[in-house]
Chains A and B, each alone.
Chain A
Amino acid sequence: MMLLKLAWHSLGSRLGTVLLTVLMMSVSVFVLLSVENIRQQAKDSFQQSVSDVDLLVGPRTGQINLLLYSVFHIGVPTHNLSWDSYMMLKQHQDVDWTIPLSLGDSHRGYRVVGSEQQLFEHFRFRSDHSLEFASGQAFRDTYDAVVGAEVAASLGYQNGDKIVLAHGIADTSFSRHENHPFQISGILKPTGTPVDRSIFISLTGLEAMHADFPGANTAPDLSPQSVTAVLLGLHSKIKTFTLQREINTYSDEALQAILPGVALSSLWSMLGGVEQTLWVISLLVLLGALIGMVNVLLLSMRERRHELAVLRALGYRPGFLFALLQLEALLITASSIIVALLALWAGDIWLREWLLSQFGLFLSESLLQPGTWRLLLGIVLAAMISALLPAVNAYRQGLNTQLR
């Protein structure tokens, strides 16, 4: 009790420097926790860009390549898989549902994805979130389009707006399908995945757009000839590997089936350098703050020489002086952690929506995950170890003190 009272009043007597130290530490703890949370969330939302999909099927190409163009819309698919193969997958006895994806067109820099109604029914991201509409509804007509949140926000689109899609993916593509404007039927809520940057139309819509007919007197055949990739959901996950092998050895066409989770993980590990860098930077910020705290405590030792001598004269042991300094460091650290957590909590309340809509960053529901506790414990330990320097200093002063 005496120890706590001493430590508390001692800090109180140096309120100015102590508050600055707490502020400095809080900022660093805040940065560390934010980086850790964002890092975790970036990883999660990346790895869960598609979830609940058992197999991703496309023409034979690299697994990362298939993932990049079908999920992240990066790069160009070299060739498609035929409609017959798609029908084979759709009618396969182990397959519960299919989502076809047809790529290759764009609208002002955003990718156009041809798909079917199942997209809105079966597509999942971040474990079990399905696509939700901020306004409007899924495509019904051939010339209906659904746009992602970012597309709508940055181009200022609303339901009912007419848009012209272009062949190819460049913004300035000359071959615009100007005869066939699409009408926006729905706008999706933000997801923090590539969906936000996509425009969805039906497969027939995609065919109609490409069916180059000037007058449209005779109705052309709008049944699709091919798709770029297919997402599969199976009745039973046990069949995943059997079906994967079956698709990979399919004799009519060279197909490839990959497990999205595995491919996403291996892609993320290629991007791991960024993650490491963020982590190292936040550790350095913490190190700076710890050095600051040790500095403040060490500087105080000079003016506290008499204080330590008085305590020794009264019969307090050198170990008591050691504990006093450690406790002061602990109080500073604990206050900093509390301030940082409050700031993080406030930030979470005020900034959650904004982060999701502006950066596609989805903060997790709970700030205090098991990892966070471990991190906080680590911070306290690091502070205690740093405080050894002033504490051992106090101990030695206690041993050698000359009372006068």
Chain B
Amino acid sequence: MLLIEDLTFRYPGADKDLLNIPHWQVEAGEAIFLTAPSGSGKSTLINLLAGIITPQQGTIRVLDTPINQLSARRRDAFRARHIGMVFQQFNLIPYLSVADNIRLASHFSALSTHEADKRALRLLDKLGLSDMEAGRKAAQLSVGQQQRVAIARALINEPQLLLVDEPTSALDTGHRDKFIDLLMQQLVLARTSLIFVSHDASLRSHFGRHVEIGALQHDAA
């Protein structure tokens, strides 16, 4: 599903590599809990996996496609169709309705607008959001609701890889566990691989595999 080989990345002007990952593999349907101290390059890794930035060396294969060798245009298109992303907060465009926020993503799918809207409503329903909330402006939702809409949007195009970066940091404990349960339920059905970045160790039990970012690095080997 995901295969990284001999990856090195450094920011322009930096004197040493931020990331140096000789080999890392993730299977389809795997749910990985990735922990990383701040400054260790976790956001950079997420951006690399999403194809927003490219490494200086090595290859990143997603679904057997070496995404870092695609043109910028095709990388953007690949991300739209195969990769979902959920961030810490600010996932939604505040002035658009929930439905329009999801349409921003389903715009890239092969589905007709009507079918995509139906699927979006089903997803929202499973995530505990009603039709009524679909018509509201994103800015009017609570943080918890916004994060659930973000999941619905990340999953609308049935991505093979879901990248999630500290999505629960703005939620209290009760909501957090419920949020992760909902997320996992959706993934099992679609056999989507998940990379979940967090430094909240108490969430680890929800995931099949735990990886420390330092263990991936070259000097750890």
Contact = CB atoms under 8 A, between A and B. Distances in A.
B93 A403 contact: no
A6 B107 CA distance: 13
B88 interface: yes
Nearest to A315: B80
A74 B163 CA distance: 84
Contacts of B95: 9-10, 12-13
B61 interface: no
Contacts of B94: 13, 307
Contacts of A317: 72-73, 76
Interface string B21-57: 0000000000000000000000110110010110000
Contacts of A310: 87, 90-93
B107 A403 contact: no
Contact of A2 (B47, B73, B90, B103): B103
Interface string A392-404: 0000000001111
Which residue of A6, A9, A307, A314 has the most chain B CB atoms within 10 A of its CB atom?
A314
Contact of A313 (B52, B53, B81, B108): B52
Contacts of A402: 43-44, 47, 52-53
A404 B43 contact: yes
Contacts of B96: 5-6, 9
Given A9-B96, A307-B93, A310-B92, A401 B105 contact: no
Interface size for chain B: under 10, 10 to 19, 20 to 34, or 35 or more residues? Answer: 20 to 34
Interface of A is mostly: helix
Nearest to A313: B85
B43 A316 contact: no
Contacts of B104: 2, 6, 311, 314, 316
Contacts, number: 73
Given A5-B100, A13-B95, A404 B52 contact: no
Nearest to A404: B43
A312 interface: yes
A403 B46 contact: yes
Nearest to B165: A404
Contact of B76 (A13, A306, A316): A316
B93 A315 contact: no
A302 to B, nearest CB: 14
A319 to B, nearest CB: 9
Contacts of A5: 96, 100
Interface residues of A, number: 22
A330 B220 CA distance: 54
Nearest to A10: B95
A403 B50 contact: yes
Contacts of B79: 313-315
A147 B85 CA distance: 83
Contacts of A316: 76, 80, 104
Contacts of A12: 95
Nearest to B43: A404
Given A310-B91, A403-B47, A403-B50, A315 B103 contact: no
B108 A315 contact: yes
Interface in B135-163: 153
A313 B108 CA distance: 12
B70 interface: no
A313 B50 contact: yes
Nearest to A307: B93
A306 B85 contact: no
Interface string A369-404: 000000000000000000000000000000001111
Nearest to B82: A315
B77 interface: yes
B90 A306 contact: yes
A315 B76 CA distance: 5
Interface in B87-126: 87-88, 90-96, 100, 103-105, 107-108
A277 B96 CA distance: 47
Contacts of B153: 314
A310 B46 CA distance: 14
A316 to B, nearest CB: 7
Interface string A326-362: 0000000000000000000000000000000000000
24 contacts: A2-B107, A6-B93, A12-B95, A306-B90, A307-B94, A310-B87, A310-B90, A310-B91, A310-B92, A313-B85, A313-B87, A314-B80, A314-B108, A314-B153, A315-B79, A316-B76, A316-B80, A317-B73, A402-B47, A403-B43, A403-B52, A403-B85, A404-B87, A404-B165
The 4 A-B residue pairs with the shortest CB-CB distance in the complex, in nearest-first order:
A315-B80, A13-B95, A306-B90, A313-B85
Interface of B: 43-44, 46-47, 50, 52-53, 72-73, 76-77, 79-81, 85, 87-88, 90-96, 100, 103-105, 107-108, 153, 165
Interface of A: 2, 5-6, 9-10, 12-13, 306-307, 309-317, 401-404
